[in-house]
Structure 1
Amino acid sequence: MLRRRGRVLIQMLSTPSAATTSPLHRPISAAARPQLHARSCILSSPRRLLSGISPTTGFAVEEYLVGTCGLTRPQALKASPKLAHLRSAANPDAVLAFLAGLGLSGADVAAVIARDPKFLCAGVDKGLSPIVAGLSGLGLSHSEIARLLLQSPNNFRSRSIVPKLQYYLRLFGSSERLLRAINFNTALLAYKSKVELNVAFLRQCGFGDCDMAKLCSSIPRMVTTDLERVQRMVALTEALGVPRGSGMFRHALSAVAFRDEKQIAAKVDHLKKTLGWSDAEVGIALPKAPFLLAKSSESLQHSSEFLMSEVGLEPAYIAQRPVILCYSLEGRMKPRYYVVKFLKENGLLKHDPSYYTVFKETEKYFVGKFIYPHKEAAPHLAEDYAASCGGEVPTRFKFT
């Protein structure tokens, strides 16, 4: 029986297949040694040949995965049981040609097959090609379609992906936002009904299209979690004093997302201790800058020490203007403070500016207000400011 099977296999493997002649197949072989090399390896080891062959079909699945698809041996061993029903390389070869046509590299193809071995069983003419046509009709480019496939191959081979993408493109506002979100949370492609429930609830909370797109892009897993959990997040947001429909509601919801009451309470206690705020001052600050809850304790500590000890701002002043705690300390506040202090010490400012204005205004405004007007009296000021923005402290900015 063993000899007869060996003769049949030798006769089968000596017949050229489409995989060795297809011009689309060659570029996606992992080491430019496609099926021909795999067959020579198989024929040189009859014992291994029989162990790598499906006992019912006679197709060397494991060797095909290694020699043609570029999988490692452990990957092929893991994947081959899912493909034991394959009788020939005909459909896998067609799938590989399809992937090559989308521009996937050999490494990309190996990643797709290792992640979803059954992708080799997908029909090309009646399955994959119509899906690509549908996605193209939604405005996705071939490179974007390939990116989507790499992110979730098992969801890609389902025809429902086209109506799902149609819905999500409207929700996210752009293909780039959507693909970035899917990269972080492929559950978007699996739980559309759950997403629809969460989106409907958030719209009841006052979210318009723009805010919804920004929220989904920044925290994509929020819309795939349970509705009850989203409702708890909204309740926590309102408990901070930020009402639904307000301009800060999205920021506040993002700040409390996936935090519980104890974590938020601990963060509030840290703000009170670090800045010396009362409960009333916390109640003033958080509705204006709820994203303080997302700042690290170390960052808050450094910013508060600089603003109170060096700049001389009072805790009550900061509580009324809490957004200044969120600006970059090294890249924004310190360099601007040094410029203003230099101008004051050299008598180049007629009035003391508001440090809140100094820190919050755009770069263009700051340079136009505090640097350009003094280029003759202080010709090195622009150079020193640029150096301080890069992390240096120029000699002229070292005050005694």
Structure 2
Amino acid sequence: MLRRRLPEADGFLRQLLGRGSQQDRAAAAAAASPPFRHFVERLTGGGAAPISRASSALAGADADATAASARGGTGGVDPASLTVHFLRHSCGLAEADAAKAAERVHLRSTKNAHAVLALLRDTLGMSPATVARLVAAHPAVLKNTTIEAKIDFYLRELGLTAAEVRRFILVSTYRFLHAGLDGRLRANYRVLRDLLGSDENVLTAVKQSIELIYENLEVVLLPKLQALRDYGVTEDVLVRLVTTHPKALVHRSSRFNEGLAAMKDFGVNPASGIFPYAFGVFAKIYQSKWDRRLENYLSLGWTEAQVRRAFIKHPYCMSVSDDKVRQLMLFLSEKLGWDPEYVASCPTVLSFSYEKRVLPRYKVLEILLSRGVLKKGIRMGHLTISEKKFMENYVTRHQDVIPEVLEAYGARTGCDVK
């Protein structure tokens, strides 16, 4: 018995030593008993078939993951692998981003994740690239089970457009995901509805500041409104303030207090129509920025009293950039001879566009002056009247006799006036 098995062993030894052809090695391995054959195949490099079978198994697992993803289950596939696969192939994440995101979210089922993607893409109109960025930054969105109800609240109950909801989600994703639907969103909506009196006013206010829906209004808003009431602000003025400058009320309590003190110092009547705008503008500007704007006016020959007077008349004069104020003041001073006192009497001119309003109107009026049509020079009213009135009085009325006015005014938009 021993002699009969020696040739077989000798043949295998030759295969181990590299002697004989490939066919001989394959035949010898096939003739061996299963345990010995497996041992020899591993030593002689004959294990290619098992490796190939493993590769096929992995490929099958990947296909199974895709199928399971479509069915909404794992199908026996490792959740970590399923998560990465879904992030890459369904969400469009790059390999590195998918790996990072998979560390923060684990999908055992993709049913809800597919529904979330459909809402983001189909209902809100997010592009594939935007969805990928959102998921990469906040992968937990895929497991959120209230997103459909929240989107429905914003669209149907609150009245926002899909584009507005999309913008708010991208800006405040964390708060969108974690704010309770009934405990916070609908509760805030009821508070705002009672305060502002109409759904239209609520929508206007929320568009200005989404914080009105997310924040705890009993903490960040209602105490400030009561402080304003105690100062003498009427309900009508409060409504105007919340609908035009809500950020001044939900941000930085310290600036709110400074704003209220400034209104008292400036002598702004709390019941006046200008109060919500003056308070809103002041409270939104950091003190350092306010000081810089003031210094800019002083450098142009204004006095602090003139700045304060201009602010009370037109609060947005302090929202105009320093460069624009310098450009307009230099033009008004050099071309029209207007001094700070005159401009401070009607500071709305500082909010006008130099290219689209001030300069084109000046060109038209200068032509009319040269032709003797204007007798008393260019006044502030020429710049502040409505577009319709200016066209009627100074362009249309004279264009047949003085066609240059039409050409001069058409330059404001780069096209002919019709």
Q: Contact between 1:70 and 1:106, CA under 8 Å: does it hold in 2? A: yes
Q: Contact between 1:194 and 1:227, CA under 8 Å: does it hold in 2? A: no
Distance 2:121 2:340 in 1: 62
Q: Which runs of no fewer than 5 residues in structure 2 stay unpaired? A: 1-50
Distance 2:203 2:136 in 1: 26
Q: Specify the alignment match of 1:17 in structure 2.
A: 67
Q: Specify the alignment match of 1:240 in structure 2.
A: 266
1:143 and 2:162 are equivalent in the alignment:
yes
Q: Secondary structure of 2:376's match?
A: coil
Q: Contact between 1:115 and 1:153, CA under 8 Å: does it hold in 2? A: no
Further displaced range: 203-212 or 354-363:
203-212
Question: Alpha-carbon deviation of 1:264?
Answer: 3.3
Q: Contact between 1:236 and 1:261, CA under 8 Å: does it hold in 2? A: no
Distance 1:187 1:114 in 2: 27
- Of 348, 351, 356, the residue aligned with 2:380 is 356
Q: Contact between 1:284 and 1:319, CA under 8 Å: does it hold in 2? A: yes
In structure 2, do the counterparts of structure 1 residues 97 and 251 end up closer, same or farther at CA, with 3 Å as the change threshold?
closer
Partner amino acid for 2:201?
G
Distance 1:329 1:226 in 2: 34
- Of 230, 235, 238, the residue aligned with 1:208 is 238
Q: Contact between 1:69 and 1:109, CA under 8 Å: does it hold in 2? A: yes
Q: Specify the alignment match of 2:7 in structure 1.
A: none
**Which runs of structure 2 are paired with 1:1-400 in the superposition (5 Å)?**
15=64, 17=67, 19-20=69-70, 59-84=81-106, 86-99=107-120, 102=123, 104-123=126-145, 127-138=146-157, 140=159, 143=162, 147=166, 148-157=168-177, 158-160=180-182, 162-163=185-186, 166-167=189-190, 170=193, 173=201, 175=203, 178-179=206-207, 181-182=209-210, 189-197=214-222, 200-201=225-226, 204=229, 205-206=233-234, 207-216=237-246, 220=247, 222-259=248-285, 261=287, 263-275=289-301, 277-349=302-374, 351-352=375-376, 355-387=379-411, 389-390=412-413
Further displaced range: 186-195 or 237-246:
186-195
Question: Alpha-carbon deviation of 1:311?
Answer: 0.8
Q: Contact between 2:69 and 2:110, CA under 8 Å: does it hold in 1? A: yes
Give deviations 1:334-368, integer Å, cap 9, x for gaps.
3222322322222223x315611111111111122
Partner amino acid for 1:197?
L
Give deviations 1:228-262, integer Å, cap 9, x for gaps.
33121222243334332322223323432344555
Q: Which runs of no fewer than 5 residues in structure 1 stay unpaired? A: 23-34, 40-48, 393-400
In structure 2, do the counterparts of structure 1 residues 150 and 313 end up closer, same or farther at CA, with 3 Å as the change threshold?
closer
Give deviations 1:14-55, integer Å, cap 9, x for gaps.
647353469xxxxxxxxxxxx99xx9xxxxxxxxx9xxx5xx
Question: Alpha-carbon deviation of 1:100?
Answer: 5.2
**Structure with larger RCO (C-alpha < 8 A, sep 6+):** 1
Larger radius of gyration: 2
Identity within the alignment, %: 23
Give deviations 1:141-186, integer Å, cap 9, x for gaps.
783586254444443444246416735874673647635644xxx6
Q: Specify the alignment match of 1:26 in structure 2.
A: none
Q: Contact between 2:159 and 2:203, CA under 8 Å: does it hold in 1? A: yes
Q: Contact between 1:371 and 1:381, CA under 8 Å: does it hold in 2? A: yes
Partner amino acid for 1:215?
H
Distance 1:375 1:269 in 2: 44
Distance 2:214 2:206 in 1: 11
Q: Contact between 2:208 and 2:245, CA under 8 Å: does it hold in 1? A: no
Distance 2:164 2:287 in 1: 41
**Alignment size in residue pairs:** 346
Q: TM-score, normalised by structure 1?
A: 0.70
Distance 2:367 2:118 in 1: 67
Partner amino acid for 2:186?
P
Question: Alpha-carbon deviation of 1:390?
Answer: 4.2
Partner amino acid for 2:268?
V
Question: Alpha-carbon deviation of 1:378?
Answer: 1.0
Distance 2:307 2:104 in 1: 58
Partner amino acid for 1:19?
S
Q: Secondary structure of 1:82's match?
A: coil
